[in-house]
């Protein structure tokens, strides 16, 4: 599926998104200091009491005292939850703007992946071509994932951000409301292979849609002339969906404004100072990861790697602002084709990347897991850390559609290595800020992967000359 030949007008969407980003921060700051001041003050007081209660529990000896403290803690947790609910309801008009946009994007993603991937596979012609490109794609994905995980492990051992926390071990079984990601072959396979493509599309299970599309595309190519009718229909449908994407993307600045206003209103700019060192170290790690990805891409693509990053700046910014790499998927697909990547490669590599190549999320998993271990004074030998890296490598695949996917995977991994899951509470408050960087990095990683595979397949053509 080729992008339209006629050059579109120069887009001002990037500028509007940047303006909306700063406007949202300003609006959120005002809301935090005025509209939500009472709730935030009550929440701070309750959280202080919870911390004091946890410290008292760690030193309490007799059962009567512990029982009283546990009752107090339960009451404080209930009060904290009620304040959070009240606060969320007050900023709901802002968060709903981002939610509507993300729902519209999710409406597009599944049919876009289905149509473009079937057309792309059918154009490849035979199963050997699919296998060849698939092998090159997975080779890059595995290498990039291992590198991202290893980078997170190295940086957290160098910076040691958790040592300053010096926390006592929490109660066993403390529930944070985060489901664990279990490491079972059966569960993984069930997640990969669909029972119904309709159900997979309804739930936006990208990996299952990819599997169906691969089979359908190969079958379509094998029936000759009759298959061409199907390809033409799906190709035309993909063009319609891309046109629809353009309409939806016009709403992006509104969504960015709402998302940023809601985050800053609830968290406040003070969260940046409280966790400034951790946030700074993590974003430094992401910058290093971008550099490594850029250098790896340069080895294959050459100097065009710089132009690639410039080309996809809009979806990178969108992913950062909305904390959703999925929101950037349709636009990324369109811009990669403008960059010179063939449609059959883009439609094959990019959907797979959203399940298997989330570089920013991968780095965060080792960084966050070892940070929590450091916070509780748990010393993990290098051999254990490498084992954790390999476990994360396996458990992380195929769960991109799960809300707070990174935290879900981390929760399961912590339990495997006897690290208190309650430590995730240290990250819940700042996770939206960290997720912004992870999402943007995921877009960069998948864009580089698509360009590299295109180059390996001698399918990287010249870039369209119009302004992006």
Predicted confidence (pLDDT) per residue in 222-255, tens digit: 888 888 899 899 989 988 988 888 888 888 889 8
Mean pLDDT for 361-365 is 91
Distance CA 376, CA 427 (A): 14
Radius of gyration of the chain (CA): 23
- 259 phi-psi bin (left φ>0, alpha ψ -120 to 50, beta other): alpha
Quickly state the pLDDT bin for 397 (edges 50, 70, 90).
low
Q: Count CB-CB contacts under 10 A for residue 232.
A: 11
| Tokens 């969407």 -> residue | 13
Domains of the chain from N-terminus onward: 91-456 (1.10.3860.10)
Top-confidence residue, 224 or 454: 454
Cα–Cα distances in angstroms (integers) from residue 21 to residues 24, 282, 320, in the given order: 5, 21, 10
Residue 30 exposed, middle or buried by CB count within 10 Å (0-12, 13-18, 19+) = middle
Q: Looking at residue 423, what DSSP letter applies?
A: G
Quickly state the pLDDT bin for 8 (edges 50, 70, 90).
very low
Mean pLDDT for 44-56 is 84
Find out whether 419 and 211 touch, Cβ atoms under 8 Å: no
**What is the share, in percent, of the chain residues with pLDDT greater than 90?**
21
Q: Looking at residue 167, what DSSP letter applies?
A: P
């Amino acid at each position: 599926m080729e992008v339209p030949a006629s050059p579109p007008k120069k887009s001002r969407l990037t500028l509007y998104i940047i303006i909306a980003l700063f406007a949202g921060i300003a609006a959120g700051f005002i809301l935090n200091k005025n509209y939500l001041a009472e709730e935030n003050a009550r929440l701070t007081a309750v959280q202080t009491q919870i911390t004091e209660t946890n410290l008292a529990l760690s030193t309490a000896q007799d059962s009567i005292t512990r029982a009283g403290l546990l009752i107090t803690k339960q009451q404080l947790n209930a009060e904290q939850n009620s304040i959070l609910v009240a606060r969320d309801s007050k900023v709901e008009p802002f968060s709903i703007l981002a939610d509507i946009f993300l729902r519209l994007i999710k409406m597009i993603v599944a049919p876009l992946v289905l149509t473009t991937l079937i057309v792309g596979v059918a154009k490849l012609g035979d199963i050997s071509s699919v296998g060849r490109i698939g092998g090159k794609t997975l080779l890059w994905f595995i290498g990039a994932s291992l590198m991202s995980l290893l980078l997170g492990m190295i940086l957290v051992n160098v910076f040691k951000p958790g040592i300053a926390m010096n926390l006592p071990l929490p109660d066993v079984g403390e529930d944070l409301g985060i489901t664990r990601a279990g490491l079972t072959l059966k569960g993984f396979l069930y997640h990969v292979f669909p029972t119904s493509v309709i159900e997979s599309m309804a739930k936006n299970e990208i990996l299952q849609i990819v599997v169906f599309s691969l089979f359908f595309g190969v079958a379509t190519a094998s029936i000759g002339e009759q298959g061409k009718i199907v390809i033409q229909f799906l190709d035309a449908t993909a063009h319609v969906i891309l046109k629809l994407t353009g309409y939806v993307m016009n709403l992006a600045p509104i969504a960015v404004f709402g998302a940023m206003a809601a985050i800053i209103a609830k968290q406040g700019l003070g969260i940046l100072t409280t966790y400034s060192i951790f946030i700074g170290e993590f974003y430094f790690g992401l910058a290093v990861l971008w550099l490594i990805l850029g250098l790896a891409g340069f080895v294959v693509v050459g100097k065009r790697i710089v132009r690639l990053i410039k080309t996809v700046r809009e979806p990178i910014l969108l992913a950062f602002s909305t904390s959703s790499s999925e929101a950037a998927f349709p636009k990324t697909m369109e811009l990669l084709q403008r960059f010179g990547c063939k449609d059959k490669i883009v439609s094959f590599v990019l959907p797979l990347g959203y399940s298997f190549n989330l570089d920013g999320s991968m780095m965060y998993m080792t960084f966050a897991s070892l940070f929590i271990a450091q916070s509780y004074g748990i010393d993990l030998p290098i051999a254990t850390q490498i084992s954790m890296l390999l476990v994360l490598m396996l458990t992380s695949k195929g769960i991109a559609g799960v809300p707070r996917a990174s935290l879900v995977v981390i929760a399961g991994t912590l339990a495997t290595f006897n690290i208190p899951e309650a430590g995730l509470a240290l990250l819940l408050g700042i996770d939206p800020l960290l997720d912004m960087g992870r999402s943007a990095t995921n877009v960069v990683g998948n864009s580089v992967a698509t360009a590299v595979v295109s180059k390996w397949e001698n399918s990287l053509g010249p870039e369209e000359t119009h302004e992006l």
